[in-house]
């Protein structure tokens, strides 16, 4: 597992396709950033630990994180520590994968995300 290339599962890909359609957000990485933030704000550790990243959706860390790569990396390392794990490269990569997938599931399960405004309002409220 590597932080250099982020891959998604087939169910996550399908959920993102739906989210792209209903929100009008065109880029995977933007939706994935929102998904990561949704999951990281949750206090609990994701229940699912093993995720099969079998879809054709993949992006580089640079594409995912953009100019805020250092901030996302710090958030992931802090989350590792909070969850009782040493923030090794492997642990950070696993934390990204499980939180990204949980966040995508959270977003896909919301019925109020019909627009970008709905996404912003759900994050603010």
Domains and CATH numbers, the chain: 5-124 (1.10.1220)
Angle, vertex CA 46, rays to CA 40 and CA 51, nearest 5: 110
DSSP state of 84: T
Cβ-based neighbour number of residue 92 at 10 Å: 20
Angle at 46 between CA 34 and CA 118, to 5 degrees: 30
Structure tokens at 74: 């710090």
The model scores a pTM over 0.75: yes
> How far is Cα 58 from Cα 117, in angstroms, rounded to an integer?
26
The predicted-structure confidence for 5-50, as pLDDT tens digits, reads as follows 999 999 999 999 999 998 888 999 999 999 999 999 988 988 877 7
Element (H, E) at 74: helix 69-82
For residue 52, CA distances in Å to 1, 7, 49, 75, 118 come to 11, 9, 10, 23, 30
Q: Which residue has the tokens 């879809």?
A: 55
Q: What is the pLDDT of residues 42-88, one digit of tens each?
A: 889 888 777 888 898 899 999 999 999 999 999 999 999 999 999 99
Structure tokens at 1: 């597992």
């Amino acid at each position: 597992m590597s932080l250099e290339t982020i891959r998604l599962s087939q169910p996550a890909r399908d959920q993102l396709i739906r989210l792209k359609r209903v929100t009008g957000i065109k880029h995977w990485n933007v939706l994935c950033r929102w998904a990561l933030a949704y999951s990281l704000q949750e206090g609990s550790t994701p229940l699912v630990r093993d995720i099969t990243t079998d879809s054709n959706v993949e992006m580089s860390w640079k594409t995912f994180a953009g100019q805020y790569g250092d901030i996302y990396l710090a958030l992931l390392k802090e989350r590792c520590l909070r969850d009782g794990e040493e923030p090794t490269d492997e642990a950070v990569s696993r934390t990204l994968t499980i939180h990204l997938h949980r966040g995508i599931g959270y977003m896909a399960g919301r019925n109020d995300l019909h627009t970008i405004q709905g996404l912003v309002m759900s994050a603010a409220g």
